[in-house]
Structure 1
């Protein structure tokens, strides 16, 4: 069990997304963090520079379309989150942490949604 609040870190992640605060979001990740996105084909990003390139346009979309927390729950190895964009588009994300309390990896994929919706995660 970790000695840091994994759920609190993800709440901070949600807050950074809602505010469009790229610096705060990136500060939650480890320097060598990895992100794997399967929303539009398999894409992998590693390190702060690649994560910044991934998140910058998405945060702009979130702030203009609206970002909502749908579900959040701890798992044996981290935290799973489901969020929505524009009140309808739903995305599932799984977070794992390093011993220092930083996000080590994120995996995101489309959640169950209407067939005509796309994914902007």
Structure 2
């Protein structure tokens, strides 16, 4: 791996999502980056154009509904992140990086959801 701050890149990713800044978010990805989302069926996106199609509408929703950082952890080959949208929908994202310090792949999937307040489950 190159000499770069993987956690810092993911923090920049979180900041871009909070601000709804699509250009900055896309600049964090490698040109040949891929994203796999299993939140509503499995979908795969590759390259800047497809990532823009994926992220454009989601960033608008994130910035209006609220985007919260729950956990961020280094893992052997990248960084894992959990975040919430609208204070309740919890998402897990795994990031892997290119040698040049760009996001090479992202896998997002539903995380274990927080039980509603007062739930006895």
With normalisation by structure 1, the TM-score equals: 0.93
- Give, in whole Å, the separation in 2 of the partners of 1:35 and 1:79: 14
- Give, in whole Å, the separation in 1 of the partners of 2:61 and 2:81: 19
| Bigger-Rg structure (1/2) | 2
Give unmatched runs, 5+ long, in structure 1. Answer: 116-121
- Give, in whole Å, the separation in 2 of the partners of 1:2 and 1:70: 27
Alignment of 1:19-98 (within 5 A): 19-98=19-98
Per the TM alignment, residue 114 of structure 1 is displaced from its structure 2 partner at its CA by 5.8
Q: Please provide the CA RMSD for this pair.
A: 1.4
Which 4+ stretches in 1 moved above 6 angstroms?
none
Give unmatched runs, 5+ long, in structure 2. Answer: 116-121
Per the TM alignment, residue 2 of structure 1 is displaced from its structure 2 partner at its CA by 3.7
- Give, in whole Å, the separation in 2 of the partners of 1:38 and 1:92: 10
Alpha-carbon deviations, 1:74-121, whole Å to 9, x = none?
000000000000111100000000000000000000001169xxxxxx
Instruction: Report the count of equivalent residues.
Output: 116
The answer for the alignment partner of 2:13 in structure 1 is 13
- Give, in whole Å, the separation in 2 of the partners of 1:104 and 1:17: 18
